[in-house]
Amino acid sequence: MDNAATTRPYDDVLETYMNVNKMYYANTSSIHQAGREAAKLLEASRRQILDLMGLEGYDCIFTSGATESNNIAIQSVLRHKKPFGRTVLLSELEHPSVINVGEVMKDEGFNVRYIRTLPDGTVDMAHLGELLDDDVVFVTVMAVNNIVGTIQPIREMIGMLKAYPKVHFHVDATQAVGKMRMDYRGVDSLSISAHKFHGVKGIGALIAREAETLSAIAYGGGHERNIRSGTVNLPGAVSMARALRNSDETLDAAEKRVYAYNRKVKEAVSGLHAVQVQPGGVPHIMNLSFTGAKGEVVVNALGTHDIFVSTTSACASKLKKLNETLLAMGSDQPVIEGSIRISFSSQTEEAEVDRLITALYAVHTEIGDVLK
């Protein structure tokens, strides 16, 4: 029940990963026959990913995952656009791989401003309109929030930003791709990570409308359009394309099934004292609070029932601070402190959901004395 952190790879994805490692282990940059064959497979994977996402005409730069993709997009585009403006707009809802890079870029002279959040967990479009001016060169908003699952108004933002042609619009689509259909045409760049949609860890992509607006932030042999140097992870890239195709083929049925799971859990906890469900959006992520308890206590208590959830994103789970998303939504401190994130995948089965509900009831009884 922690599938927003990572997912179990499809069996055939693992087979693909192993087969490519065995049969196409040549370096994709080598000029001999084996290298050319490996490079051909890499380009086929690149095209397949773009086709599946409906982004013909875009470029796909393979990276180690969304954190690296976000870093390349933010750092390289800002340095490129510095002569034309210094203001960067971030939503308050972003992952640490965006927020922390934005904060670091302040040291290079950029003015980082945050787009406010509405109580329902979406970005405040009116506030975005107020912040936009001729000095803004970069705007970034995640497609689906990783804590509560709210869907951000990406199409509406693309429309608004047409009046500001020098703005680069970046979208962290990590929690959306492979789990819901979204039209990304018009976005300047987006980040994806394979292990979020049943691929393997260590492979992701930065997809860009104009790759020439990107540049390296680490230097080497000039792989991946001279944007991301380092021997390309061909088994990862090929298996990522396979995972995306599998997810695309099963997405509609999986979404319907997961929506039913989401609704079942919400109905089950609706009558429990001091349990509050946060506003959400996508069915595969839900956030609820045991108000008065600490989220870590609830996570550990559920763990004794072999139910594994999280308090926040896995990347920030060891930081001792209140969750930024729930803070931005205006949640009270006891609600934030007692929050847990439950996340389903296309492989989640109803029997597991029933076990989750039984465990939630049990934990509610076990810690009942501290609930308010």
- Catalytic residue numbers read 315
- Phi then psi for residue 53, to 5 deg, are -90, 0
For residue 293, what is the DSSP state? B
Contact call for residues 245 and 258 (beta carbons, < 8 A): no
* Partners of 113 in the β-ladder: 89
Query: CA triplet 302, 306, 311: central angle to 5 degrees?
Result: 40
Q: Using CA atoms, how far apart are residues 26 and 20, in angstroms rounded to an integer?
A: 10
Nearest-angstrom CA–CA distance, 337 and 244: 35
Strand order in the sheet with 339-343: 275-277, 285-290, 339-343
The alpha helices in the chain, defined as continuous H runs, are: 11-23, 33-52, 66-81, 96-105, 125-131, 154-161, 223-227, 234-269, 295-303, 324-328, 333-337, 350-366
Place of tokens 């930024």: 324
Q: Which residues of 72-107 are buried (b: 16+ CB within 10 A; e: fewer)?
A: bbbbbbbebbeeebbbbbbbbbbbbbbbbbbeebee
CA distances from 122 to 86, 141, 282 (A): 25, 10, 12
Torsion, Cα 362 364 367 371, to 10 degrees, reads -170
Cβ atoms of 353 and 261 within 8 Å: the answer is yes
